Structure 1
Amino acid sequence: MCAPFHFPLIQIALGALLAWPQQGLHIAFDPELFLALFIPPLLFADGWRIPKREFFALWRPILKLALGLVLVTVIGLGLLIHWLIPSMPPAVAFALAAVVSPTDAVAVSAITRNLGMPAKTMNVLEGESLLNDASGLVALKFAVAATMTGLFSWDDVGKEFLWMAFGGLGVGTALGWCFARGRDVVTRRVGDLAATQMVLMLVLLPFAAYLLGEYFGVSGILAAVAAGITTNFADLRRSEFVAERLQTEGTWAMVESAFNGAVFLLLGLQLPSIIGSTLADAGHGGWRLAGHVLVISVALLLVRWVWLTLVVRQSLRRVHAEGKMAEHPSALLTLATTVAGIRGAVTLAGALSVPLLLPNGSPFPGRDMLIFLATGTIICTLLIGSISLPLLLRRLPPAGEPPDLREERAARVVACRAAIDVLAGGEDKIAPDVHLAPGQFQEVAGRLAQDYRKRIDLLSDGTDAAVTPEAIADAPDAVRQRHLRYVMELELRLRCVRIERDALYRERQSHQINDASLRSIVAELDLSEISLSKRLLVARRAAGLSVPAVDGY
């Protein structure tokens, strides 16, 4: 079975095989449409999923990597590329440098899974990837504009960058907030009946944020990122919408996978013609182009290592001294963080979004060379990372138990105690729909509390499917009481699952756990609630009781 980081190479090869013959598949390509179609959902998903607590705790090293390193890379690498390939105009060289500046934390996560990458270092890489995707693409936009117009001014660029950055963040935040408010109004009235419609609106939200940002002349890319972050914060107040949450997780997993795959497949479809025209324009063999790719890739990693060592390492030491980062920023960890600067889908999407033509109708200078070198850099950094990262991580000292696991364990204890406290409050506090003889509630509640104390599987009990409502109605009172107790037990279990989930959301809102831990535990509780709800419906029907309407599932 192929490792996840091999999939991009397979997808590129598949696209190339489809397009290589003269009779192969050829697609008319609109770079502007490509940018609007593929970039917003990918960046929105990054903003929606990134652990916010760690992002704000580690903001100094993240910003130094995502903004400072991008600026240094664009300027330094742009000058190197122009010196290396004199035929490439300076603005196009800077555009290529901007294209290869964003990193891909997803590829790093796939390579380092179960290899001991320190958790906080991975959080820094995720935060860097989120922001440098946006900063790199904004820098690309300026470089392309300079190529198209032939005009460039540092003062104008600085002012325009600030307007685009803060304007894009403002537009995305406002749109995300409006969506969250509108969703609350609808779903508070109809519940999970509108789950599918809300998920569809959420999928369309990044496109709306991007287009609205571009309409107002600000960064649509940053607008999509800000909308994702704002929506995630709003989701922390929506613990009870189980069906919507499950559908959202499944839908976004599919969207991310499909769009990432489509980017690499489309590159494969363009690759044969790009290679042919690049070799023809360059006037020399492929080995020299491969050498250019290697030089650019090594220069990228060298600039990254120098920046980490001289600028970022001090911030990491401060974070470590403050107790926000367990691992010490050693030279070996700095080297591992350097080779973790793998390029991926956003780099490729940026390269493919470069216009085909200048305003005067002539071809965009060096476009095919730019795409070829960007593609080679992705493959080269991917290979370097996949080979060297496992070797480096094995030499790091054992990190011990990850803090996230300790927090998750503590959060589970808090959730169980919240359920036990409610059970101890008696029948008046629970207010079940089924009322039994005195003492029987305490029997059922006591058994559930014991289950929580022992952490027994919530769904271990079963019911007799062969018993019909008519048989129960005609059965002796003791049998009927036993089945009614089972209905009450399922109701109490269902209430306790919801109480656990509410407690977990309170833990996240008070920053006791992070987003990843919350999603992991809540996913378990959501599945338990769905199963319990189904069993409760069957049990109520079997007991001859009324069956309430169930939303979403």
Structure 2
Amino acid sequence: MQTVEIVLALLAAVVLSGAAARFLPLAVPAPLVQIGLGAMIAMVTKTPVSLDPHLFFLLFLPPLLFLDGWRIPKDEFFKDLPIILELALGLVVLTVVGVGFLIHWMIPPMPLAVAFALAAVISPTDPIAVSAIAQRVPIPKRLMHILEGESLLNDASGLVCLRFAIAAALTGSFVLHEAVLNFAWVALAGVAIGVVTTLVVTTLNAWLTRAGAEDAGPQTLVSLLIPFAAYLLAEKVHASGILAAVAAGVAMSFSEVARQTVAATRVRRNMVWDTLQFTANGVIFVLLGEQLPSILAGAVETVRTTGHHEPWWLAIYVVVITLSLGVLRFAWVWGSLKLTLLRARRRGEDRASPDWKIITATACAGARGAITLAGVLTLPLVTAAGEAFPARDLAIFLAAGVIVLSLLISSVALPLLMKNLQLPPETAGLEDAERARATLAIAAVQAIEHMQSSSPHAADADFQTASARVVDIYRDRLDGLTQTGEVALAARRGRGFEKEVRLVAVQAERQALHTLLRQRAVDGAIQSKLTRELDLAEARLRI
């Protein structure tokens, strides 16, 4: 019963963290609030949650990585793929090697393989915290897309490196050519299994759906099961379940384009996935906070692993490791940018170097988070010989410290770097969206005009009046979308004012509906229907 109460307390902390983060005066990301609430729960319950690392890994990582692959903007991802690969692969390898040797040099009692494992697990970045900060700080969209793409791939590359480091720590040996071949199998087989799993499941699901009416419940459940199926199948053949989950998510987005899902199903499924993402990310950080008191309580014992006796040495190690991650990231971003500009000049292109604040912000945006925590908790408890895994508690403490300190640095540095930064207006996406809207409106008008002439109700005056009214709505939209220059700017401002006025009107409708309900002028069924209509109207206005 106590376990159930702790789980409910963790979920309640996730709910409270969202409201608390919004009310705090500074741009404190929700993960930091969740860590604090988790620590409070641990101090109240006095009973730390016992985590099974492999179960923890299975429950949380596949759906989160699958969703990242599913929702990442594909055009922006492939456009910036070279930059993303440099960060997600090159920087991860540099981090594993450089920080791994640094950790082993600072803490000689920690075996080199364990140091590499720790470096591998702290190499993936976490975009969730940066996204929370971006809600209050104007981070350029392209930079956010690069950070999201980097996170999607470095999750996989970092955790694959972690897998090899753990194997080396357990066996005590590491053969380079065998590792390269194994890496090729792990990566390629993982990607293939992820893609095939999604294609097979979605094809079979589409065939079953054609046999009967589409139901939102089963469709949503199928989408929830795909990442777990891909992950488990890949692990069965000793491939990367992480890459399988990512590839399954990417394949899911292309499968969605090929097969049209009923709108109601898509809306309900997205709501379920949004809730799952919010809950899983939140629970991970709350669990980190819940584990912190017990980790800190063992700090005196853990520090002896390092050859010291004073607990403050652990804080020094955390600061040094975090700063080394930032320095390596800054150097890699700066060097990569200089090489890109050099290649552009050789091609005769004249590209301006971005503001140094953008480069520094890219380095500071490398906060660690959920993937790091989930990964470090999968360190084995014992070796193949049955002995305790060397320096496991120390690695967990250092990883937790890096997560907290990197989140603090990002939450403080990003607002300062982005403040008063003059960013060029990002009009390309807006213009593309308006052209697409105009194309859709033209198609709608043509379809209505064809229906007016071919419908069996064509002679009905009421039908013609209703059709003309709908056509007028689309023609008004077209008139606003085809304007240019100052007229277009004035039209956009007008649409902004119109949205504001319509939102006020929707709120007034809600108040009137509540009044009718209190007066018992409408029953529950009517109230539910009208509330849903108002919810959809408000959701469209807030897009």
- Same fold at TM > 0.5: yes
The structural deviation recorded for 1:363 is 1.4
Measured in 1, the distance between the counterparts of 2:440 and 2:538 equals 15
Measured in 1, the distance between the counterparts of 2:341 and 2:273 equals 32
The structural deviation recorded for 1:20 is 4.1
Distance 1:327 1:215, change over 3 A: farther
Partner of 2:387: 362
Q: Which amino acid aligns with 1:176?
A: T
Q: How many equivalent pairs are there?
A: 463
- Which residue, 259, 264, 268 being the options, matches 2:285? 264
Query: Does 2:99 correspond to 1:77?
Result: yes
Query: Does 2:11 correspond to 1:11?
Result: no
The structural deviation recorded for 1:249 is 0.8
The structural deviation recorded for 1:54 is 0.8
Partner of 2:328: 303
Q: Which amino acid aligns with 2:444?
A: A
Measured in 2, the distance between the counterparts of 1:357 and 1:20 equals 28
Query: Does 2:272 correspond to 1:251?
Result: yes
Partner of 1:412: 437
Measured in 1, the distance between the counterparts of 2:266 and 2:157 equals 30
Partner of 1:374: 399
Query: Does 2:116 correspond to 1:94?
Result: yes
Query: Does 2:25 correspond to 1:2?
Result: no
Alignment of 1:55-74 (within 5 A): 55-74=77-96
Does structure 2 retain, via aligned residues, the 8 Å contact 1:175–1:227?
Answer: yes
Measured in 1, the distance between the counterparts of 2:538 and 2:390 equals 58
Judge which range, 170-179 or 106-115, deviates more: 106-115
Measured in 1, the distance between the counterparts of 2:434 and 2:96 equals 44
The structural deviation recorded for 1:401 is 3.6
RMSD between superposed Cα atoms in Å: 3.1
- Which residue, 287, 292, 297 being the options, matches 2:312? 287
The structural deviation recorded for 1:381 is 1.1
Partner of 2:132: 110
Secondary structure, in 3 states, of the residue corresponding to 2:442? Answer: helix
Distance 1:265 1:409, change over 3 A: same
Percentage identity across aligned positions? 44
Alignment of 1:64-463 (within 5 A): 64-192=86-214, 194-283=215-304, 284-315=309-340, 329-428=354-453, 431=455, 435=457, 437-455=459-477
**1:141-191 per-position Cα deviation (integer Å, ceiling 9, x unaligned):** 111111111111111111111110011000000001111111211223334
Measured in 2, the distance between the counterparts of 1:175 and 1:249 equals 21
Measured in 2, the distance between the counterparts of 1:402 and 1:388 equals 27
Distance 1:238 1:253, change over 3 A: same
Unaligned runs of 5+ in 2: 1-18, 23-27, 478-497, 510-532
Q: Which amino acid aligns with 2:246?
A: V
Judge which range, 8-17 or 330-339, deviates more: 8-17
Q: Which amino acid aligns with 2:263?
A: V
Judge which range, 386-395 or 373-382, deviates more: 386-395
Secondary structure, in 3 states, of the residue corresponding to 2:29? Answer: helix
Q: Which amino acid aligns with 1:220?
A: G
Does structure 1 retain, via aligned residues, the 8 Å contact 2:30–2:129?
Answer: no
Q: Which amino acid aligns with 1:68?
A: G
Measured in 2, the distance between the counterparts of 1:445 and 1:233 equals 35
Does structure 1 retain, via aligned residues, the 8 Å contact 2:42–2:291?
Answer: yes
Judge which range, 197-206 or 229-238, deviates more: 229-238
Secondary structure, in 3 states, of the residue corresponding to 1:190? Answer: coil
Does structure 2 retain, via aligned residues, the 8 Å contact 1:119–1:402?
Answer: no
Measured in 2, the distance between the counterparts of 1:221 and 1:401 equals 34
Partner of 2:522: none
Secondary structure, in 3 states, of the residue corresponding to 2:220? Answer: helix
Distance 1:280 1:529, change over 3 A: closer
Partner of 1:469: none
Does structure 1 retain, via aligned residues, the 8 Å contact 2:99–2:325?
Answer: yes
Runs of at least 4 residues off by over 6 Å: 316-322, 456-462, 528-531
Does structure 2 retain, via aligned residues, the 8 Å contact 1:118–1:399?
Answer: no
Unaligned runs of 5+ in 1: 463-523, 532-553
